[in-house]
Structure 1
């Protein structure tokens, strides 16, 4: 049986970044990551859009606002320093009518409060950024929005933490906890402290430690549609004005790290946690539990779930999906779109008491364990500053003297 000072469940971007931060703070302490798949970043971390968001969507008092702003800068610097692919193509947020212009004004206010660069642009300036973009009167331009290859980033962090002494056990699934031991399909691991960064299953693991009792994960499926005709019809990321009452940004154009154009994503309610396609990974107990809450949301119409679900299901119709994107551009070939790309699942936390989707980071823990219940989008962008926040919280809960720690590091 192996013993570790810190054991992390989950090898996504959050688990990897926490391991990186722990090794930076405690180079002499032992750290391991347990990952149930054959490699890291198998789920959300490797299936997301790859967009590094700037941080202007979020209210100023949210953790998300601060972490996105700082994370954008840090992840951009990390990619530059490590020679990783990055497309610094920016983003335009466009309006279709006067009401949506008011939405742009709100986004600009949030950007100013959050300290994020966001610029008003007129039609002439828009044309110089991307001549194919269509808007009503004006738009907002985010010069710091970029695109990366999320798998390449995660693999680079993986190599870095292994080099610094972190052990990563793949094909090793958390099965339970007994006293000081984590039970897995590959034996038992003993540890001083457990960090739950299990994404889609974080709420279930948290309940083994009597945390997360008022929450459950509701999965939403995100699918993109690839534009096959060329890579030049769209130059930048193009987003609509979002409905700020829910955590989804609407169908938009994304420019990937290799200049590919895609539209999406959907936010289709899924019926089990890894409901990617067909009946693969189907779990009956998950199906009934998620169906129970989705039915409840549908009947009570919390956060307009009924209209959201109906609208999202319509996006399975390809022509409908494509038409949603056309209002943001002057001209693209409607027949130029190819197949749906590899789907991802958003692990969205639901407050069971209020029936609201939780739109900020939620963590709980004590002196023995720590649980990332809601590493909400854009969790990938936020990973580095969020991991510092997590380790700060762990240090506090373990009762470690931060002054002594800082002295020993210096």
Structure 2
């Protein structure tokens, strides 16, 4: 049996960043990450779009608004400092009709409240950024939106925390808690403090500690489609006006870190937590639990789930998926698209009492454990400042003083 001061379950960007923050503050204390896969960033952290968001989608009083703005700056600086690939290509948000101009105005208001750079461009000015973009009269331009390689970033943070003395134990899957012991498929561990950053399984692990009782994870499958013809037909990220009532941003163009073009993602309701393709990773209990809540959402039509589900299922049809993207550009060869890319699963938290998708980050904990229940997009962008917030919460719950308290 091995013992640590801090034991983290989950080797995604959030778990890695929390380990980094703990070691920055407490270099002499032992930290271990348990990861069930053979390496870090196997799930959401390694399967996301790679976009560093700027922070103008979120309401001003939200954690997402604060951490996205700060995280964009910090991860951009981190990539520059460590020589990691970054494509500082910006982003255009476009309107397809007069009605959507109101949506652009709302995004501009949020940007101003959040202290994020976002510029009005006339249609002709938008063409200077990307000659192929199509918009109704106006567009918004975000100069600080970039693209990175998420796996490269995670591997860089992994190397950094190992260098600081963090133990990363891969192929160690959390199996449960027995008194103060954490059981895995590869041994038993004890710790002074337990941190749950398990993403798709965070809600289940939290319940072992009597947290997260009113929540459950509903997985949504995100798929991108690569534009294989060339890398030049689209110059920047191009996004539609989103439906701000739900946390999905709609089908958009992503300019990847190597200049490639892809469209997506979908937000297709998945039937089990790692429902990437076929019957892989199928779990009977998960299937029935998730199906129960998705059926409930369908019948009550909470947050228009019924129309969302029908709309998303249509995106399995390649021609329909492509046509959605063509509304935002003047010319693109619809035959130039290649295959669907590696899918990702969004671990979206559902409030079981209100049947609403939780939009902001959610954490719960006490003096022995801390649980990150909702850290979905833009969780990757937010990872560094969010990890400070998490460690602040842990320190307070442990009865330790924050560094700023010590200074004052």
TM > 0.5 fold call: yes
Shift of 1:405: 7.7
Q: Secondary structure at the match of 1:392?
A: helix
Name 1:203's counterpart in structure 2.
Answer: 203
Q: Which residue of 1 aligns with 2:219?
A: 219
Mapped to 2, the partners of 1:309 and 1:161 lie a distance apart of 40
Give the aligned partner of residue 66 of structure 2. Answer: 66
Distance in 2, matches of 1:34 and 1:82, equals 25
Whether 1:237 aligns to 2:263 is no
Q: How many angstroms does 1:128 deviate by?
A: 1.1
Counterparts of 1:404 and 1:104, CA distance in 2: 39
**Where in structure 2 are the equivalents of 1:11-410 lying within 5 Å?**
11-402=11-402, 406=406
Partner Cα separation in structure 1 for residue 354 and residue 402 of structure 2: 37
For the aligned residue pairs, the C-alpha RMSD in angstroms reads 1.0
C-alpha distance in 2, partners of 1:324/1:405?
A: 52
Worse-matched range after superposition: 34-43 or 118-127: 118-127
Do 2:123 and 2:136's aligned partners in 1 also have CA atoms closer than 8 Å? no
Q: Which runs of 5+ in 1 are unaligned?
A: none
Q: d(CA) in 1 for partners of 2:341 and 2:82? A: 28
Q: TM-score, normalised by structure 1?
A: 0.98
| In 2, Cα distance between equivalents of 1:338 and 1:3 | 49
Distance in 1, Cα, partners of 2:187 & 2:339? 42
User: How far 1:123 sits from its partner (Å)?
Assistant: 2.2
* Counterpart-to-counterpart distance in 2, 1:402 and 1:227: 49
- Which stretches in structure 2 are left out of the alignment for 5+ residues? none
Deviations 1:127-156 (A, max 9, x none): 110000000001000000000000000000
TM-score w.r.t. length of structure 2: 0.99
Does the CA-based 8 Å contact 1:180-1:192 persist in structure 2?
A: no
Q: Secondary structure at the match of 1:92?
A: strand
- Offset at residue 181 of structure 1 (A): 1.5
Question: Do the aligned residues in 2 keep the contact of 1:251 with 1:265 (CA within 8 Å)?
Answer: yes
SS at match of 1:312: helix
CA apart distance, 1:103:
0.3
- Inter-partner Cα distance in structure 2 for 1:263 and 1:345: 16
User: What's the offset of the Cα at 1:384?
Assistant: 0.3
Change (3 A) 1:109 1:304: same
* d(CA) in 2 for partners of 1:98, 1:404: 49
1:180 CA drift (Å): 2.0
Equivalent pair of 1:368/1:398 in contact (CA under 8 Å): yes
TM-aligned CA distance change 1:85 to 1:122, over 3 Å: same
User: 2: CA distance between counterparts of 1:118 and 1:405?
Assistant: 35
**Quick one: structure 1 residues 403 and 123, their matched pair in 2 at CA, closer, same or farther if it must change by over 3 Å?**
closer
- Give CA deviations for 1:288-333 in whole Å, capped at 9, x if unaligned: 0000000000000000000000000000000000000001000000
CA contact (8 A) 1:199 1:347 kept: yes
In 2, the alpha carbon distance for the partners of 1:257 and 1:86 equals 6
Aligned residue pair count: 408
Most deviating of 130-139 and 395-404: 395-404
**Partner secondary structure for residue 99 of structure 1:** coil
Q: Secondary structure at the match of 1:98?
A: coil
CA offsets 1:370-394 (integer angstroms, 9 cap, x no match): 0000002110000000000000000
Name whichever of 176-185 and 331-340 sits farther off.
176-185
Question: Following superposition, which runs of at least 4 residues in structure 1 exceed 2 angstroms of deviation?
Answer: 401-407
Do the aligned partners of 2:268 and 2:312 also contact (CA within 8 Å) in 1?
yes
In structure 2, what is the Cα distance between the partners aligned to 1:298 and 1:405?
A: 49
Shifted more, 397-406 versus 340-349: the winner is 397-406
- How far off is 1:178 after superposition? 1.8
